[in-house]
């Protein structure tokens, strides 16, 4: 992937907003920059956060609901890669050429473009409010926790 020509004139949060503007335009999300300089997109009971730390671009969903599945003190954060693998185990067999590390805004922009493509290809039901994939991951996590307890 190649960075968008305007990426070198933007900061990370602007690049994130540009690459994920479809969340604002088509799915009713709002957006803000956090105190940690990450970009958060929010809608009702769901957040999607993009952060750039120590050469890595992180992308994760955070469920804001509290119910019988999504409980307090149980992780309600789901990394994009984890979600994509759950939807399609072969999703990462053919990856585009990406920088090894995101050391510049241009590098980070390449990852943001790729993550936006993944989200549009594999996460549309989540963006439309269907949390069943995230629920399944939560149930699987709980089962693993129970199996690992002595």
DSSP 73-101: TS--EEEHHHHHHHH-TTTTSSPPP--SS
Q: Which residues pair with 32 in a beta bridge?
A: 40
> pTM of the prediction?
0.88
pLDDT at 83: 97
Q: Tell which phi-psi region holds residue 135, choosing left (phi > 0), alpha (psi between -120 and 50) or beta.
A: alpha
pLDDT at 6: 55
59: phi then psi, degrees, rounded to nearest 5: -140, 125
End-to-end Cα separation, the chain, in angstroms: 46
Q: From CA 12, how far away is CA 98, in angstroms rounded? A: 17
Domain parsing of the chain, residue ranges: 7-88+99-148
Q: From CA 53, how far away is CA 125, in angstroms rounded? A: 28
Which two structure tokens, joined as six digits, stand for 62?
């955070």
pLDDT at 13: 92
DSSP 96-140: PP--SS--SHHHHHHHHHHHHHHHHHH-HHHHTT--HHHHHHHHH
If you search the block for the tokens 């933007």, which residue do you land on? 10
pLDDT at 128: 95
pLDDT tens per residue, the chain (150 residues)? 666 655 545 799 999 999 999 999 999 999 998 877 899 999 999 999 999 998 999 999 999 998 888 887 778 999 999 999 999 999 998 888 999 999 999 999 999 999 999 999 999 999 999 999 999 999 888 888 778 777
The count of other CB atoms within 10 Å of the CB of residue 117 is 13
């Amino acid at each position: 992937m190649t960075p968008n020509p305007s990426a070198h004139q933007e900061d990370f949060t602007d690049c994130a907003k540009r690459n994920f503007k479809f969340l604002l335009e088509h799915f009713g999300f709002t957006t803000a920059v956090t105190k940690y300089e990450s970009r958060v997109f929010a809608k009702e009971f769901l957040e999607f956060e993009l952060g750039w730390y120590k050469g890595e671009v992180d992308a994760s969903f955070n469920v804001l609901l509290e119910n019988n599945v999504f409980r307090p003190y149980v992780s309600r954060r789901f990394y994009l890669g984890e979600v994509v693998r759950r939807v399609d185990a072969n999703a990462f067999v053919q990856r585009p050429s990406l920088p090894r590390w995101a050391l510049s805004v241009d590098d980070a922009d390449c990852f943001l473009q790729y993550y936006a493509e993944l989200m549009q290809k594999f996460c549309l039901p989540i963006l439309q409010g269907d949390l069943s994939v995230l629920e399944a991951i939560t149930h699987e996590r709980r089962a693993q926790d129970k199996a690992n307890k002595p």
